[in-house]
A and B are shown apart, each in its own frame.
Chain A
Amino acid sequence: MSYVRAPSPDRMESVIAEMTTSMQHRIALAPAGICPVEMTMVFLRLCHAQSCGKCVPCRIGLGKMADIISDLIDGRGDPSLLSTLEATARTVRDTSDCVLGVHAGSMVLRNLDEFLNDFQSHALESRCVGIFAGPIPCQSACPAGVNVPGYIALIREGKPKEAVALIREANPLPTVCALICDHPCEAHCRRRMLDDAVNIRGLKRYAVESSGDVPLPEPLPPTGKKVAVVGGGPAGLTCAYYLALWGHDVTIFEKYPKLGGMLRYGIPEYRLPKALLDKEIERILSLGIPAKTSFEIGKDASIEGLRREYDAVFLAIGCHEDRKLGIEGEEGPDVVSAVSFLRQVISGPLPVLRGKIVAVVGGGNVAMDAARTAVRLGAREVKLVYRRRREDMPADPKEVTGALEEGVDLIDLASPVRVTRNERGAVTGLIIRPMVAGPIDDSGRPKPVPSGRPDETVECDVIIVAIGQSSESARFKEEGIPTNKDLVVAGEDLSVPGVPGVFAGGDCVSGPSTAVKAIGHGKTAALNIHVYLGGEPVETARHPIPPARPSDMMPSGRVELKERSPLVRVRDFRMVEKGMSAEEALREAHRCLRCDHYGCAPLRSGRWYAWSR
């Protein structure tokens, strides 16, 4: 005889749990442009199914709201339904007993507010204004628009050279992206509905590593137009590459002795070996692009001067200025910004950290790079000080794990208050204030608020500040370049308003971002400059893409890239991550669902071509 049962997960629960997870994935992967009215209806039906049935507004109201929207969608709506819907949603929100109803009601109100246009066109004209774009998910998530399924198919057919050539049609820095891209494509990979995203970046690395030297396409005949590119980072390099391919005479101006921008002076060697970067840059320059290095625009020449001598100018100066903590004791030796620290590691002399305790302030990728670099330079201890929680860090979780594996000590929920120095002015520590997670702020993360516990001291000899960078664009203000805060203002087409012939892109327009976004900007600018110079929109030769094979969509595991062991890798600056073997690459390439063939992409992103027998 028993009175209580120990809870045991039953079969139904686990299947429901599985379904919930796949629902999450499905919703996260919803194609762009899906009708918000219909989504609201589906959301309500789900909420209704979850209602326990106790309270009137939730038990009945949720269903009625879904019915109303269904009428709107089927063209049985009239404008009065909208006010009924709104009143019902308000009542459900305000009168439901628990969060199941309250949340559903407030979501409907929010959608009504946010998508009023769509609701109205359904109600008044029974017309859907949502434009369902059904493109290839990974390709459209890629800021450079790389044809992902195409190059994966080429890898699968054993043609890595062709794969690299195809990537280059959209992105002239395949090796860089293969090693350090933050791969937004994978977040959108449709395969996630089934098991997990295809390891797209890993496959790209395989293609790059197994293809040897892949020749560049032939440039078009010279147009006689001259373009100046200011800044030799990924944005500038990309823009120069395409403009040179289309026959323009391009010159790159770069402040530092070498090209690459943050790829060279920011990203550490153990993630992006400089020898590989050099090769990639040389290849781009081999199109006949001269680079004037150690040449600073604003000092050695003015924008005005460039505009006189060139038909168009592309500004891509990045974000290299340090952001300060603004706390007492910050000024003085041994408190450095992460970017200048990392730059010094590359350009020398090597900072001496052996035996020292280093505190790195920040929670982004730059902070991780600084911390892990400090470890490799022989610091006795590296402490990572961050205001919020570990899960709120903007850094890639893999980078955080990598840093922790390498012995970095994480002190989270700690807000810097003051730098303490001894009588000789040397840093002795960083006073921090313990925080707790508070209400969610605009960034969607809990805002740290003081915990009320007393301040603590983090002992250290060196402090590296990695709380963001700003751009030096203000210096061009006098030359008429409009700026907003510290960024250059540019339109959607990246032209700088009011300054004909000048375009801008990359980090100096977007703020600190990613390499592939800078590449995307470089492409957009190149095309618009080309058209500005009187060219026709160009399409590069398209590499033929192997036909899709029958697809079974059987769940299968993702091939992850292996890393060198933390104990070994901290002793040198060689690459942390290892590439895929041919067998692994083939397996992984099989996983691609070929969303360019299956599903709506071939239909909804169609382009006309000639009919000819």
Chain B
Amino acid sequence: MVKITIDGKEVTASPECTILEAATKAGFRIPTLCHLKGINDVGACRVCVVEIEGVEKLVTSCNITVRDGMSVLTASPRVREARRTVVELLLSEHDCNCPTCPQNGKCDLQSLAEKLGVRTQKYHSSAPQGEPDTSSPSLVKDPRKCILCYRCVSVCDRVQSMGIWTIAGAGGHTQVVPEGGAPLAHTACTYCGQCVVSCPVGALSEKDDRDVAWELLNSRKQGKRIVTQVAPAVRASWGEALGLPRSVATPGRLVAALKHIGFDLVFDTCFAADVTVIEEAAELLRRAGLVEGQRSHGGPNARRMPMFTSCCPAWVRFLGAEYPEFLPCLSSAKSPQQMFGALAKTYWAQSFGVGAGDIRVLSLMPCTAKKYEASLDVMSSSGFRDVDVTLTTREISSLIMEEGVRVENLPEVDFDSPLGLASGAGVIFGSTGGVMEAALRTAYYLATGKNPPVDAFRVVRGTGGRREAEFDVAGKTLTVAVVHGLGNARMLLEDIKAKRVAYDFVEVMACPGGCAGGGGQPYAQGFEYNPEAGARAQTLYGIDDKAPVRFAHENPAVIELYDKFLKTPGGELSEKLLHTDHRLWGIQARSRRVMAAAAT
């Protein structure tokens, strides 16, 4: 431990920590903007500068470590002047049309200007020119808002290992652009949206589909039925942007708020997640040779191990772009979002006597890549699009706000039946490890005819980048792994390729923390990366703990679905409606990036 003085107060700190960390821990508040702890420590914005006794220059507190005896001033007149000047300079090159910005009210730059008391603008204002890049189905980049903090660059490179965002030009012409300066849709971008949640301003956002959702509501007048599904992770985070405590922002109040807006059939994606569990578990047992059976999807490689989960479209895109040779390892199961849509327009349509063409499916997802997935042509097994429009958690909070719903005054309402009934297994889908745990619970049952103890597979929970476990299922040892974050996924694939590891079943979620930390979740503020993912996951596990049904295969609505409609998991109808061949998604393989020469 070292002793330092901050604004006259003696503080002890561990020698590896930065001045910023030491000060924050000791209760001081140093403003930051570009810093993202452990990920973006380039010191680009210079907002966090402090004065150090005996050092002539001001020093960035985010990337300089403490030293014994250091004496730091966090808010001296020099520091205040510098910070304010830096923010004024930034504002002079920022499109300050705040009221129409997706980050309005949540923007770090806006709140920084307020915190630092910036009221004047002494520089000639010259926001950059250029139109937003709206080429992709998921993400929008607006160069006029970008403040070149480089968070997106670092997150995409260091966390997701993709390196899609690059820096072009230099000096006053520096820009953050997609690789090669191409429109985003022409790159290998996975649409995970981790750059979006990390952007401190409104330069990155999801493709805005709120107006499409409002139009859907209007289409009821033409006799359309609007069927809404709510993804697991959305229920754990929807209240954050509305400033509601978790105790108020319950799943039941979300259903109530949606009904208040006019979405009268509010179902649960967790129901479809239960179906996914059953389909995937059955496929795993077949692939692992625990039961007999042939696959129609996946061709000759359909038995290839390991089996990868397939519910994360950003992960599927990653695999198709970077490791296309592994596509046959993906479970052919569609994601719960798409299964839900396909079932709504067939099973539910039949049971309730509604024509599939008269149904519109709206999904509420914690995810930007789901917009891409829903837009794929192959996702229309009922003859109509499985899902008509996908909104992120941020967009749904915005709709609730726009409608003026007083959420806290609403009584809680249950999801509608039958597609709203879900087991706890379906709920934990929203967290890293959740799909694995849910699938193993059912795989065990399908293989042995007995339920395992409900907590048998708990060890796959956690936050470690890669977690491994072995389980005995019907006399066979299944080796499983769970990874989250595409950088971890890449390392896992490299290890598999080099035969350093071998698994039977691997769960991959592109976003750190899983869907709980998804790219469609509320913007994070401050310098912690993905700060809420852990708490959201806890909410989901809490729901599972209290759920009356914990096994997907015991969900009565699901049992009825198979009895009356699908018959068997992996059967003919399931294959048609609930499975997909990922090679038909049309993902462009990325040319291998050249390794840096040994000499440089």
User: Which A residues have a C-beta under 8 Å from some C-beta of B?
Assistant: 31, 33-35, 38, 73-75, 127-128, 130-132, 135, 140, 143-145, 242, 520-521, 523-524, 526-528, 536-537, 547-554, 597, 600, 602-604, 606-613
Say yes or no for B488: interface residue by CB 8 A criterion: yes
> Complex formed: what's the CA distance from A127 to B170 in Å?
12
A603 touches B153 (CB 8 A): yes
Residues in B neighbouring A526, C-beta threshold 8 A = 598
Contact A603 B167 (CB under 8 A): yes
- CB of B598 within 8 A of CB of A536, answer no
Residue in A130, A135, A597 whose CB lies within 8 Å of B169: A130
Given contacts A144-B599, A242-B598, A609-B487, 14 further A-B contacts (CB under 8 A): A35-B170, A132-B168, A145-B600, A527-B597, A536-B494, A547-B16, A547-B65, A597-B63, A602-B42, A608-B161, A609-B158, A610-B488, A611-B160, A611-B488
Residues of A within 8 A of B532 (CB): none
A residues in contact with B168, CB < 8 Å:
128, 131-132
**Also in contact, A608 and B59, with CB within 8 A (given A35-B169, A145-B600):** no
Interface-lining segment among B50-58, B257-265, B365-373, B404-412 = B50-58
Note all chain B residues with C-beta closer than 8 A to A602: 41-42
Q: Which of A33, A547, A610 is in CB contact (< 8 Å) with B465?
A: A610
Bound-complex Cα distance A423 to B100 (A): 100
B520 on interface, CB distance cutoff 8 Å? no
Which one of A521, A523, A610 contacts B485 once the chains associate, using CB atoms below 8 Å? A610
Closest residue of chain B to A492 (Cβ to Cβ) is B597
Q: List 29 A-B contacts (CB under 8 A).
A: A35-B173, A38-B171, A128-B168, A130-B169, A144-B599, A524-B597, A536-B494, A536-B498, A537-B595, A547-B16, A550-B52, A550-B57, A552-B57, A553-B57, A603-B153, A603-B154, A606-B158, A607-B157, A608-B159, A608-B160, A608-B487, A608-B490, A611-B39, A611-B159, A611-B160, A611-B465, A611-B512, A612-B466, A613-B465
Q: How far is the CB of A136 from chain B (nearest CB, A)?
A: 10
Beta-carbon contact of B163 and A608 below 8 Å: yes
Asked if B173 and A128 make an inter-chain contact with CB atoms under 8 angstroms apart, the answer reads yes
Question: For chain B residues 158-215, which have a beta carbon within 8 Å of chain A?
Answer: 158-163, 167-171, 173-174, 181
CB distance from A141 to the nearest CB of B (A): 10
Is the CB–CB distance between B598 and A611 below 8 Å?
A: no
Residues of A within 8 A of B150 (CB): 603
Q: Mark B454-469, 1 if CB is under 8 A from A, else 0.
A: 0000000001111000
Known: A144-B599, A550-B64. A608 touches B170 (CB 8 A): no
Query: What 3 pairs between A and B have smallest CB-CB spacing?
Result: A612-B465, A132-B170, A527-B598
Whether A603 touches B44, Cβ cut-off 8 Å, given contacts A536-B498, A550-B57, A612-B488, is: yes
Residues of A within 8 A of B129 (CB): 74-75
Flag whether B67 is at the interface (Cβ < 8 A): yes
Q: Fill in one digit per residue for B479-501: 1 if any A CB lies within 8 Å of its CB, else 0.
A: 00000010110110010001000
CB distance from B155 to the nearest CB of A (A): 9
CA distance A230 to B13 in the complex (A): 56
**What is the number of residues of chain B that contact chain A, defined by CB distance less than 8 Å?**
50
A612 to B56, Cβ gap below 8 A?
A: no
Q: Report A-chain residues with C-beta under 8 Å of the C-beta of B158.
A: 606-609, 611
Instruction: With both chains docked as a complex, state the minimum distance between the C-beta of B40 and any C-beta of chain A, in angstroms.
Output: 9
Chain A residues with Cβ below 8 Å from B599 are: 143-145, 520-521, 523-524
Query: A144–B600 Cα gap in the complex (Å)?
Result: 7
Residues of A close to B42: CB separation below 8 A:
600, 602-603
CB-nearest residue of chain B relative to A128? Answer: B169
Report the minimal beta-carbon distance from A126 to chain B, rounded to whole angstroms: 9
What is the chain A residue whose CB lies nearest that of B126?
A: A74
- Give complex CA distance A257, B153 in Å: 54
- Inside 8 A of A547's CB, which chain B residues have their CB? 16, 64-65
Knowing A551-B57, A606-B153, the reply to whether A613 touches B464 (Cβ < 8 A) is yes
Q: How far is the CB of B38 from chain A (nearest CB, A)?
A: 8
Q: How far is the CB of B267 from chain A (nearest CB, A)?
A: 34
Question: Out of A35, A527, A550, which one reaches B59, CB within 8 Å?
Answer: A550
CB distance from B15 to the nearest CB of A (A): 9
Cα-based distance from A34 to B168 in the complex (angstroms): 11
Chain B residues in the interface with A (C-beta under 8 A): 16, 39, 41-42, 44, 52, 55-57, 59, 63-65, 67, 129, 150, 153-154, 157-163, 167-171, 173-174, 181, 463-466, 485, 487-488, 490-491, 494, 498, 512, 595, 597-600
Q: How far apart are B497's CB and chain A's nearest CB, in angstroms?
A: 8
Residues from chain A with Cβ under 8 Å of B167 in the complex: 132, 603-604
Asked if B154 and A606 sit within 8 Å, CB to CB, the answer is: yes
Using CB atoms, name the residue of chain B closest to A125: B181
Q: How far does the alpha carbon of A562 sit from the alpha carbon of B598 in the complex, in Å?
A: 34
A528 nearest CB neighbor, chain B only: B598
- CA–CA, A597 and B59, complex, Å: 13
Whether B487 pairs with A38 at a CB distance below 8 angstroms is: no
The answer to whether B598 touches A524, judged by C-beta atoms less than 8 angstroms apart, is yes
Establish whether residues B59 and A606, one from each chain, have CB atoms under 8 Å apart when the complex forms.
Answer: no
Which chain B residues lie closer than 8 Å to A607 at the CB level?
157-158
Q: Which residue of B lies closest to A552 (CB)?
A: B56
CB proximity of B25 to chain A, nearest CB, Å: 18
B490: nearest chain-A partner, CB-CB: A608
Task: Name the B residues within 8 Å of A554 (CB-CB).
Answer: 56
From A135, A552, A611, residue with most partner B Cβ within 10 Å: A611
Chain B residues near A73 (CB, 8 Å)? 173
Distance of A604 Cα from B160 Cα, bound (Å): 17
Report chain B residues within 8 Å CB of A143: 599
Is the Cβ of A552 less than 8 Å from the Cβ of B598? no
**Complex-state Cα separation, A145 to B597, whole angstroms:** 10
Q: How far is the CB of B540 from chain A (nearest CB, A)?
A: 18
Contacts of B463 in A (CB 8 A): 613
Contacts of A550 in B (CB 8 A): 52, 55, 57, 59, 64
- In the bound complex, residues from chain B placing their C-beta under 8 Å from that of A552 are 55-57
A604 and B165 CA atoms in complex are apart in Å by 11
Q: How far is the CA of A526 from the CA of B598 in the complex (A)?
A: 8
Cβ-defined contact, A523 with B598, below 8 A: yes
**Chain B neighbourhood of A521, CB < 8 A:** 599
Q: Which of A31, A73, A550, A607 has the most CB of B within 10 A?
A: A550
**Is B487 within 8 A of A611, CB to CB?**
yes
Note all chain B residues with C-beta closer than 8 A to A606.
Answer: 153-154, 157-158
For the complex, give the distance between the alpha carbons of A529 and B512 in Å.
37
Q: In the complex, how many angstroms separate the beta carbon of B346 from the nearest chain A beta carbon?
A: 40
Contact across chains for B157 and A608 when beta carbons are under 8 A apart: yes
Closest chain A CB from B251 CB (angstroms): 27
Minimum CB–CB distance for A506 against chain B, Å = 13
Instruction: Give the chain B neighbours of A609 by CB distance below 8 A.
Output: 158, 487
| Docked CA distance A31–B158 (Å) | 24
Question: Which of A144, A537, A600 has the most chain B CB within a 10 Å cutoff?
Answer: A600
Given A547-B65, A552-B55: A610 and B173 within 8 A (CB)? Answer: no
Instruction: Please determine whether B173 and A38 come into contact, CB atoms closer than 8 angstroms.
Output: yes
What residues of B have a CB within 8 angstroms of the CB of A603 in the complex? 42, 44, 150, 153-154, 167
Q: Write out the residue numbers on chain A whose beta carbons fall within 8 Å of the beta carbon of B159.
A: 608, 611
**Which of B153, B466, B512, B598: most chain A Cβ within 10 A?**
B598
CB of B2 to closest CB in A, whole Å: 13
Complex Cα distance, B168 from A130, in Å, reads 8
CB distance from B164 to the nearest CB of A (A): 11
The smallest C-beta distance from B389 to any residue of chain A, in angstroms, reads 31
B485 contacts A130, C-beta separation under 8 Å: no
Residue of A nearest to B42 (CB): A603
- Chain B residues with Cβ below 8 Å from A610 are 465, 485, 487-488, 491
Nearest chain B residue, comparing its CB with the CB of A525: B598
Chain A residues with CB under 8 Å of B174's CB are 132
Residue contact A140 to B600, C-beta cutoff 8 Å:
yes
Interchain CB contact under 8 A, B153 and A127: no
Using Cβ atoms and an 8 Å threshold, which residues of chain B touch A127?
181
- Whether A611 pairs with B64 at a CB distance below 8 angstroms is no
Q: For the complex, give the distance between the alpha carbons of A527 and B598 in Å.
A: 6
CA distance A549 to B174 in the complex (A): 28
Contact partner of B64 among A536, A549, A553, A613, CB < 8 A? A549
A35 to B159, alpha carbons, bound, how many Å?
30
